[in-house]
Structures are given as C-alpha cells and as structure tokens.
C-alpha cells in the first residue's frame, strides 16, 4: 500500500503556505471545494491522496527521493499516533496537586507584597502593578506598554523580590495549565494513552511538529519537569522506555556539510565542542568555567541560527559589540563555516531555494527582497534550513529503517515518539539489549561521510529515567 499527501509535493516545490489544511489547499491550489459532509470528505481526501491517481510521473526528479520517503512515512506516523503513549494518570494528578498548592502559596505571597489582589496571569495587570503602583523603572517597550517577560522580570528581580515570585508563579502555572490539566484532558479514556497528531511537514525545514497535544515540548530538567516526564511510562512492567538521541547532531552536520577541518577535527578527537569554542574565544590557556562554556555554547548554536551580534547579545546578556567580537572569532577559528554559508546564500540567490543534503527544498523568495530587514531574515532562514533540514531528513530516514526492522521480526517493542533529534520506544525486557544495538546501528548508519554521527541511548522505567 502506498500513500501520498498531495500537499507535500507543493510544499516541497514552491513557497506555498504550509498552514493550509486539506480543504483550504484544495480550494487554493485546485479551485476545488471539498464536501462539508464528513463521509464524502474522507472519500475525497483518500481519492486525491491516493498515489496512483496522482502526480507519480510528473514529480520533479530532484525531489523524487524526498517525496518517496515522505510517502513511505505516512503509515509510520499514523501507526505511532494510533499506538500512543501510556501515561500514569493518578501520578500526574498527584503532581498537579503539589504544583497547585505551591502556586497558591506564591499567589498569596504576591498579593501580600503588593497589598492588593489582581490577575497575575494578565501581563497588562502585571505592568500596572509593577510600573505604576510600585513605580519600578520600566524596560523595553512593546505594543501594549512595557514588557514583563522573563528577561525584564529577571532584571527587576535583582532589586525587587516581587518580580522573582511572579516568575516562580508563572513557571508553576505554565506547568499546571499546559502539562497537568492539558495532558489529563487528552488521555484517551479507552486506551488510557495519549495520542498526539504529527504534522508531517509541520515545519518549513522538514521537521515534524506535534499537536493535540504537543509531545515535543514536554518540560525537561529537575524538579517538577522530571516528575511530569516520569508519568510517561510503559503500561506493563515487562517493558522499559528506551530513548535514543543524536548527539550534537546539528553541529556535526554543519561540520560535515561545510567541511571545516577545525570543526571536524574537534569531533573526530571526541573533544567537547563547546569547550573547544570557548578556548578559541577566551584563549587556549584560559580556565574554561561553566559560565565561559555557556557563552561558547550560545555562540555555537547561534551560528546554526544565522547569528547576529544583536541577537547573540540578547542571549548571553552582553553588548552587541562584545557579541560581534565572539562571532568574528568563531568564523576566524572555523573558516570553512563562513565559506559554506556564502555558498548557501549564493545558491539561494541563484535558484530561489536552498536544499538539504538529501535534496529537500525550501523556497525562500525573501533573499531577493529589496527590503534589507526582510532580506536579512530570509538569509538567516536560508542558512539554518540545510542544517536543521538535514537533521530532519536523517531522523526521518532512521525512522523508516527502524520501522522496517520492527516489521520484519515479530517484536513486542514499539516506536512511540519523535522529538526532533530523539526517538522514544517502549521495549520488551527480552528484546532490550538487541533493540539498543539495532537502533543505534540504524540511526548512526543513516548519514554517510567521514564524520560519524553518534547516538546516545538510555533505558529506564519511564521517560524521565531513560533521558540519561
């Protein structure tokens, strides 16, 4: 059985809006009104999406292999959605009660400090309380007044404790509303599992996205986030969770695609890439503190995002001039990266699109725009896409091969989730060691070239424990 979502071809060969649902797409692209009757709609959708009825022979040959891969992935994502992931509902509820209790205390503490009750969830009301009632000096202006975002409140918090408590309250409320109440609401009463929906081309780079609920942004870290993640677990004690994630995948891809010898050497030697960059930035003999490493890490990631001095300065909380110095040093130390980026921009200008290692395209008309800001934004998108997109291709290819492997045997283990550079499985105890070996071998074997991709694998009784 072969499937095709006819939107995919358009998305991959033009700059058409990817946010169109099927009916909007049919209207826009084919001037066809789909039926409002659910039954007829499903028949129409099946009909138009069925491979044999469609573009099979007209697909641009350069995009053929990506189209082929996406087609083969359709039933795999469908199966993962159908399988779902088990969640310990009682445990999640209990954690929710702990959070609610702590949140309530923070709330009362805030009212006490301010001397009145107000809606802390309303940014507008927080503005009034902080900047008008308490007369705290304002920071950055936004459309609706002055921002009370994380950055602003952290700064204010150095002098006024109230800001810190509001931040703590917000963190707790985010966890409670989105990850306790939000998840409890979508546990399927029949399966007791959560069934997300994967948007196969949810991102313009080729990444998946996940919605209803989004299982790609479950909080990580210690404390409540770890407790929440621990609620995702196997339904039976005969199974464990297995988490396999690509190590530093985007920086390794940047090294491979750019061919930068310094970057490649660092990975080949097994050095810590952030510490390596830190020594470039702060001197070979400098003591690399966790703070310096953190800055270097931001620079490394920033480079993948099409870094600007202004943007980096915001992230590492320094002056744009200082940030620009770091960026210049980075390019001086990894000269192949700058040359590679120039070649991407040249290609984008010439073709109107950029592409991944596997030939996935993204059309970026903005690189030819006369507006400098729009052009700069488009150039950042152009630079990021081949890296993020190649990473997306790699894990999609790995999923295809893993799915085929799982299908060949009569295994009890199942692939459950994908979180961009990470795959989550529930594995049967009897298959655990073998699965670990096979999954690693498949994932590491997808991407060719001298610089090997590495995969970290951890197992445990739940998603938190298996995170390693």
Interacting residues with DNA (CB under 7 A): 18, 119, 121-125, 142-144, 147-150, 153, 167, 170-171, 173-175, 177-178, 181-182, 185, 199, 202-205, 207, 209-214, 216-221, 225, 298, 301-302, 305-308, 310-312, 315-316, 373, 376-377, 380-381, 384-385, 388, 419-422
At its nearest, how many Å lie between DNA and the CB of residue 129?
Answer: 13
Tell me how far, at minimum, the Cβ of 463 lies from DNA, in Å.
Answer: 11
Q: Which of 128, 26, 371, 457 is nearest to 36 (CA)?
A: 26
When the beta carbons of 384 and 438 are compared against DNA, the nearer one is 384
Residue closer to DNA, measured from CB, 18 or 91: 18
Q: Where are the alpha helices (DSSP H) in 214-319?
A: 224-229, 249-258, 261-268, 273-282, 290-304, 309-316
Between 217 and 236, CB nearer to DNA: 217
Q: Is 317 helix (H, G, I), strand (E, B) or coil?
A: coil
Which CB sits closer to DNA, 123 or 454? 123
Closest distance to DNA from the beta carbon of 251 (Å) = 12
C-alpha 316/C-alpha 151 separation (Å) is 11
- Of residues 146 and 411, the one with the C-beta less far from DNA: 146
- Contact 86/192 with Cβ under 8 angstroms? yes
Kindly tell me which of 395 and 431 has the beta carbon lying closer to DNA. Answer: 395
Output the smallest distance, CB 175 to DNA, in A. 7
For residue 223, what are the CA distances in angstroms to 91, 171, 227, 257, 307?
A: 15, 12, 6, 38, 32
The answer to whether the bond into 213 is cis (omega within 30° of 0) is yes
d(CA 16, CA 361): 12
List the structure tokens of 137.
């000096």
Q: Distance between CA atoms of 143 and 398, rounded to whole angstroms?
A: 44
**Shortest CA distance to 73 belongs to which of 403, 355, 387, 392?**
403
Q: Considering the complex, what minimum distance in angstroms separates the CB of residue 186 from DNA?
A: 8
Q: Which is nearer to DNA, 57 or 144 (by Cβ)?
A: 144
Q: How far apart are CB 147 and DNA at their closest, in Å?
A: 4
Cα 294 to Cα 274: distance, rounded to the nearest angstrom: 8
Nearer to DNA, 210 or 462 (CB): 210
The CA angle 298-165-230, to the nearest 5 degrees, is 65
Comparing CB distances to DNA, the nearer of 96 and 302 is: 302
Give me the least distance between CB of 181 and DNA, in Å please. Answer: 7
Residue 327 to residue 277: CA distance in whole angstroms: 11
Kindly state the smallest distance separating residue 431's Cβ from DNA, in Å: 25
Count how many residues are written for the chain: 468
Q: Give the DSSP letter string of 101-128.
A: HHHHHHHHHHHHHHTS---TT-HHHHHI
Give the span between the Cα atoms of 436 and 251, in whole angstroms: 24
DSSP sequence for 386-399: HHHHHHHHHHHHHH
The strand ranges marked E within 307-434 are 353-355, 361-363, 414-418, 422-428
- Residue number with CB closer to DNA (56 or 149): 149
Question: What SS3 class is residue 384?
Answer: helix
Tokens of 311: 């943007």
Comparing CB distances to DNA, the nearer of 311 and 359 is 311
**Residue 327 CB, nearest approach to DNA (Å):** 8
Candidates 389, 383, 467; CA nearest to 423 is: 467
């Amino acid at each position: 059985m072969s499937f095709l979502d006819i939107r995919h071809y358009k998305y991959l060969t033009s700059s058409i809006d990817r946010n169109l649902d099927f009916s909007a797409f049919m209207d826009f692209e084919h001037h066809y009104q789909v039926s409002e009757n659910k039954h007829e709609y499903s028949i129409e959708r099946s009909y138009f999406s069925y491979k044999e009825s469609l573009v099979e022979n007209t697909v641009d040959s350069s995009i053929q292999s990506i189209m082929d891969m996406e087609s083969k992935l359709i039933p795999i994502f469908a199966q993962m959605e159908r399988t779902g992931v088990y969640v310990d509902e009682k445990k999640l509820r209990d954690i929710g009660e702990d959070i609610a209790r702590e949140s309530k205390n923070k709330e009362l503490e805030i009212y006490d400090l301010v001397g009145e009750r107000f809606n802390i969830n309303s940014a507008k009301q927080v503005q009034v309380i902080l900047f008008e009632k308490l007369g705290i000096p304002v920071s950055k202006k936004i459309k609706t007044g002055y921002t009370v975002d994380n950055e602003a409140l952290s700064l204010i918090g150095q002098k006024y404790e109230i800001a810190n408590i509001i931040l703590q309250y917000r963190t707790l409320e985010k966890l409670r509303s989105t990850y306790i109440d939000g998840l409890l609401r979508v546990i399927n009463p029949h399966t007791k599992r959560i069934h997300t929906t994967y948007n196969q081309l949810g991102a313009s780079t080729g990444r998946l996205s996940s919605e209803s609920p989004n299982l790609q942004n479950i909080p990580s870290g210690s404390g409540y986030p770890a407790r929440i993640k621990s609620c995702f677990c196997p339904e039976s004690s005969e199974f464990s969770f297995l988490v396999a994630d690509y190590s530093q995948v985007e920086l390794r891809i940047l090294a491979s695609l750019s061919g930068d010898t310094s970057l490649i050497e660092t990975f080949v030697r097994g050095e810590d890439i952030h510490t390596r960059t830190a020594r470039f930035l702060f001197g070979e003999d400098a003591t690399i503190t966790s703070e310096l490493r953190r800055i270097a890490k931001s620079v490394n990631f920033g480079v993948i995002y099409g870094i600007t001095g202004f943007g980096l300065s915001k992230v590492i909380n320094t002056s744009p001039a200082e940030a620009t110095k770091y960026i210049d040093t980075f390019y001086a130390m990894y000269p192949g990266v700058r040359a590679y980026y120039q070649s991407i921009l040249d290609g984008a200008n010439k073709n109107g699109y950029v592409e991944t290692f596997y030939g996935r395209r993204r059309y970026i008309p903005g690189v030819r725009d006369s507006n400098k800001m729009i052009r700069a934004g488009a150039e950042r998108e152009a630079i990021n896409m081949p890296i993020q997109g190649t990473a997306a291709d790699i894990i999609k290819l790995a999923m295809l091969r893993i799915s085929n492997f799982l299908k060949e045997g009569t295994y009890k283990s199942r692939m459950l989730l994908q979180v961009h550079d990470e795959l989550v499985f529930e594995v049967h105890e009897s298959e655990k060691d073998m699965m670990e070996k096979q999954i690693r071998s498949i994932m590491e074997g997808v991407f060719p070239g001298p610089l090997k991709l590495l995969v970290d694998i951890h197992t445990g009784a739940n998603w938190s424990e298996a995170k390693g």
